[in-house]
Every structure is written in C-alpha cells, then in structure tokens.
A = this chain, B = another copy of it.
Amino acid sequence: MSRSSFQVPSGISVIPIAGLPEIVQGDEIGLLIVDHARAAGVQVMDGDLIVVAQKVVSKAEGAVKRLSAQTPSVEAMKLADKVEKDNRLVQIILDQTARVVRAVPGVLIVETVHGYVCANAGVDQSNIDGEDIVTTLPEDSDRSARDIRRAIIDAIRGGGDAGRDSAIEIGVLVSDTFNRPWREGSTNVAIGTAGFDPLIDLRGTPDDFDREMLTSTVSLADEVASAAQLVMGESGRVPVAIVRGVRWVAGEFSIGRLHRPAKRDLFR
C-alpha cells in the first residue's frame, strides 16, 4: 500500500444524528438518516463515513426473536445450565453460533455463523420494547451496510443536497459494542461495511526513519466505530453518527477483512 493511502488528515468531526423514530421492520434506514440529518442542518458530504448501530439495523430488517416462541433443544438446556442463562435465550444464541469459544457461569462467548467472536452471538435484550423480544445480528451486515449506503446516495441525489450527477463517495458501517479479553469495558466495532476498506495495511510502509513498519495493519473500521460511539452512547438514543475527515480507500470490501482466521488466532 502506498503511504498516500494513510496521509494525516487535518482533523475529524463526529456528528451525531439523533431524533430517529423507534425503528420497526421495513423502515428505510438510509432515507431516515438523510431526512434526520437534514432536519438537524447536517448535509451528508463526499468522504463521510456513516456509522449505524446494529440495533436499529436489526429492527428494520426484522432480525428479532421471541423468547416465548423457542423450544430449547437438549444441547441448549445443558449449555443454559452451565452458563446460568435462560434456555430459550441460549437456543437463539446457538442458532447463530458456529462454535462455542468459552462457556462459564454468566459468560457465553461464541464464534457466530457470520464469523464474529463475541458474547451471546450478539443477541441483545436491551432497548427492545417488551421483555419477550431480543434482536439478533443482521443476517449479512455487509449487505445491510450496502443497502443503507445505496439508499443514502439515492436520497442525496434525489433531494438536492448535491447535484444529481455528482459522484458522492461515502462509506457506511454497521457497528455493535463487543467486550474483549484482557481489558475492561466494551468498545464499538464494525460488523459490516460498504464502500471502503475497513483495514489499513501498512506492511511495507516505511516509518519515519525509512524502516519497515512492524505493526502491520490497523483496523480503521473499528477505530471509526469507536469514534462514533463517543456521540452515540450505549442507549440507542443516537443510533447514527457521521465521521467526517477520515482518509479511506474506496471500493468493495468485506468485513471478513477484520475476522482473524482461527488458524492465525491463539485464543480459539
């Protein structure tokens, strides 16, 4: 990669987009983002990275489950006993799981069918109206990000924010808060991306003294997600943020770029 792909920007802004209604299945998140940004006097601009919380994406896509609709398997019941969680919740988690990574009382860490390693397969009980409902992660968060990105670009072109013929390069990422080994406190990470490369590859880039960099890659998308979280908060009241001023490489890339293969991972 060339050094020019990681030039130092002159400064970054993180702009909260608040006021979205309670999201229900079928809502067009991209359109809501552009409308609510406009209402707040914010225009989506060329170069913006737009971070959207998983929770609203899952709600819009109908990625929700009812605990009361579950019939736990024997496997789910045994695992629920072990981790001391509701066996219907554990059934939903197992339906999203490729491999159990750690299971102890109070903690269930899995590798999901999508390739993330996280607690409870990202199944979330908070901020859902009704104790019986949980969200699951979007089926394909890259696709979710692509759909939102397309809707935003269409809304901008149709809505007079920019000329119909202008090329607006934006990136979109869907984010969720994950906990980590070794360090306390969750951080926001990217679970789906569209329009930009989530990983900066510095391998071969000379450092200040023209020696090869030892730290080889940087998770741009996770750092952008963390920056966004500083205005999004945890509660869901600000489910969207625009991160403006970041240098990024446009193109079609998968969030799989951020999934460390199990064979290169010492903690699975």
Say whether A68 faces chain B, with CB atoms less than 8 Å apart. Answer: no
Interface residues of A in 4-59 (CB under 8 A from B): 6, 8-16, 18
A11-B13 in contact given A128-B209, A200-B185, A213-B234 (Cβ < 8 Å): yes
The distance from the CB of A6 to the nearest CB of chain B, in whole angstroms, is 6
A11-B15 in contact given A126-B211, A199-B184, A230-B246 (Cβ < 8 Å): yes
- Chain B contacts for A246, CB-based, 8 A: 230
Q: Is A8 in contact with B237, judged by CB distance below 8 angstroms?
A: yes
Interface residues of A in 185-210 (CB under 8 A from B): 185-189, 198-200, 202, 205, 207-209
Say whether A76 faces chain B, with CB atoms less than 8 Å apart. Answer: no
Q: Is B207 in contact with A235, judged by CB distance below 8 angstroms?
A: yes
Say whether A218 faces chain B, with CB atoms less than 8 Å apart. Answer: yes
Say whether A177 faces chain B, with CB atoms less than 8 Å apart. Answer: yes
Cα A234 to Cα B16 with chains together (Å): 27
- Chain B contacts for A180, CB-based, 8 A: 180-181
The count of residues in chain A whose C-beta lies closer than 8 Å to any C-beta of chain B is 78
Say whether A226 faces chain B, with CB atoms less than 8 Å apart. Answer: yes
**Secondary structure call for the A interface:** loop
Q: B117, B202, B222, B232: which contacts A187 (Cβ < 8 A)?
A: B222
Q: B129, B222, B230: which contacts A185 (Cβ < 8 A)?
A: B222
Q: Is A227 in contact with B189, judged by CB distance below 8 angstroms?
A: no
Q: Mark A227-257, 1 if CB is under 8 A from B, else 0.
A: 1011111111110000101100000000001
- Chain B contacts for A217, CB-based, 8 A: 184-186
- A262 and chain B: residue at smallest CB distance: B182
Q: B117, B200, B227: which contacts A182 (Cβ < 8 A)?
A: B117
- Chain B contacts for A202, CB-based, 8 A: 234
Cα A39 to Cα B233 with chains together (Å): 34
Q: Is A11 in contact with B6, judged by CB distance below 8 angstroms?
A: no
Say whether A113 faces chain B, with CB atoms less than 8 Å apart. Answer: no
Say whether A109 faces chain B, with CB atoms less than 8 Å apart. Answer: yes
Closest 10 CB pairs of A and B: A185-B219, A227-B227, A226-B226, A181-B267, A117-B182, A223-B226, A12-B14, A102-B266, A185-B217, A127-B207
A residues apposed to B, CB below 8 Å: 6, 8-16, 18, 102, 104, 107, 109, 116-117, 124-129, 131, 177, 179-189, 198-200, 202, 205, 207-209, 211, 213-215, 217-220, 222-224, 226-227, 229-238, 243, 245-246, 257-260, 265-268
